[in-house]
Structures are given as structure tokens and as C-alpha cells.
Amino acid sequence: MIHDVGRDLVYWGATGLGAWQGERRLHVSGLTEPRHALVGTGFPFKSLPVLRRYLDQFAAVMGVSSGIRRAGSAALDLADVAAGRFDAFWELTLAPWDVAAGVLLIREAGGVVTTLEGEDDVLRHGSVVAGNPSLHRWLLELLRTA
């Protein structure tokens, strides 16, 4: 469960039961064209050694997408991917408690979440790349080559 206190929205889900915002079932975006994609991200403010890599990735994504947004909470960003408001998301340094609920929501809403290395186990300290299947593949490849 994720509670967006500012907007009084509650997101919830369970394996095999889907992802929901209140009574509304969530589905990831169906967008397949990266140039139209709205991508969420988070800045590596606690890991300055990875800042150069992040800035290169940021420039690569900005140059080929519709835009990048930073809302401030990885949990809410992941809920936005599950709800189709963001088409994709990435961040380089997150903790398990930042992503656990959002990962479940995205996967139950038809999306894909992996590490930057493409591993399914994201419930550890590290990177997260998420989106619908098509844009997840695109973003993962773009970030790896940036």
C-alpha cells in the first residue's frame, strides 16, 4: 500500500489480485513511442560518486523523450508508473523500503521492474528501472549505453 497524503490517494495491491487506486484498477501506460514518453526519475543526492553517470543518463533520456519529472518520492513515482501517469521511471540508488510497494503495483498493473543490470530482484539497495514492457526495454538499453 502507498498513501499519497497530499492528494489523499491510496494505492494498494497484492500478488495475483491486481493493483488498485481505491476502487479503480491500475494499468501501466500502453505508450510504445519513446519520443512521447513521460519519464520519472530521482536524483542520487546521497550518492554523489554516481552523479556523473546519472547526469549522462539524464541527458540521454531528455534528448529522446517527451520529458522528465521528479516528484520527490520514489514510492509515488512508481505508483504513477502503475497508474499510467508516467510511462517509465529510473533511479540509481534506492532502498528496499523505497520501492517494495511500488514494484508490486507496477508488476500487478502489467509493467516490468528490474535493476539497471536487468535483474528482477530489486528489493535491495540499488538501481530501479520500470515501465510498461516496451518502454522498460527501451529505457534499460538507453541507460546502459549512456
Q: Please determine, for residue 58, whether its predicted confidence score (pLDDT) is greater than 90.
A: yes
Predicted TM-score of the model (pTM): 0.93
CA dihedral (137, 92, 60, 144) in degrees, to 10, reads -50
Q: How far apart are CA 52 and CA 75, in angstroms?
A: 24
Decide: helix, strand or coil at residue 100.
helix
- Cα Rg of the chain, angstroms: 14
pLDDT in tens, 83-101: 999 999 999 999 999 999 9
Q: Please determine, for residue 13, whether its predicted confidence score (pLDDT) is greater than 90.
A: yes
Q: Are 26 and 14 in contact (CB under 8 A)?
A: no
pLDDT, position 50: 87
Domains of the chain, first to last? 2-28+35-145 (3.40.190.80)
Q: Please determine, for residue 20, whether its predicted confidence score (pLDDT) is greater than 80.
A: yes
Q: How far apart are CA 3 and CA 18, in angstroms?
A: 17
